[in-house]
Structure formats: structure tokens, C-alpha cells
Amino acid sequence: MTKTEIFDQIKKMIVEQLDVDADKITMTTNFTEDLALDSLDVFEVIDKIEDEYDIEIETDDALATVGDLVDYVATHQETSED
């Protein structure tokens, strides 16, 4: 799966889970600064992504932007498919 496909899926999840305007979500969108999400909101999105991609996301990792999350999923999805 390409990063673009992962981004599209994550964007869709964020919109559905948190009722955020899809136009606000880009790779550089910051969860707290741009979307005003609190840690519980971010946790809900991460939980949904973990279920969708069958990976475990370490919340200690610096995942401040949508792009950070896309990169994380892309990297860990590759290793889980090996």
C-alpha cells in the first residue's frame, strides 16, 4: 500500500471518527495545533488505525502530524507483512 493510499484511509478515519473537515487534513496537519484535538481524540484515531492495519502504534513516538502517522503506518505495515 502506498503512502498516498494510507494517507487517504487515515484522512477518512479522522473525518469519520472526529467529525473534522476533510479540507483541513493534509500531511502537514498538526493534530493539536491545526485540528485542536486533545489526547483522547488522538488516542481514538490511533486505536482505529491499529485495528485497521493490524499494527501497534507506540504513542511515545513523536506523532504530531498526519504525515508522521502515515510514515509510521507505512514503515510498520511493511515490517508486519514480511
pTM of the predicted model, to two decimals?
A: 0.87
Q: Is the pLDDT of residue 80 over 70?
A: no
Cβ distance 77 to 1 under 8 Å?
yes
Q: Is the pLDDT of residue 82 over 60?
A: no
b (16+ CB within 10 A) / e for 22-31: eeebebebeb
d(CA 51, CA 60): 18
Element (H, E) at 81: helix 66-81
Give me the domains of the chain, ranges plus CATH numbers.
3-81 (1.10.1200.10)
Which tens digits make up the pLDDT trace of 7-63? 999 999 999 988 999 999 999 999 999 999 988 998 899 999 999 999 999 876 688
Task: Reply yes or no on whether 38 is catalytic.
Answer: yes
Catalytic residue among 19, 21, 23, 38: 38
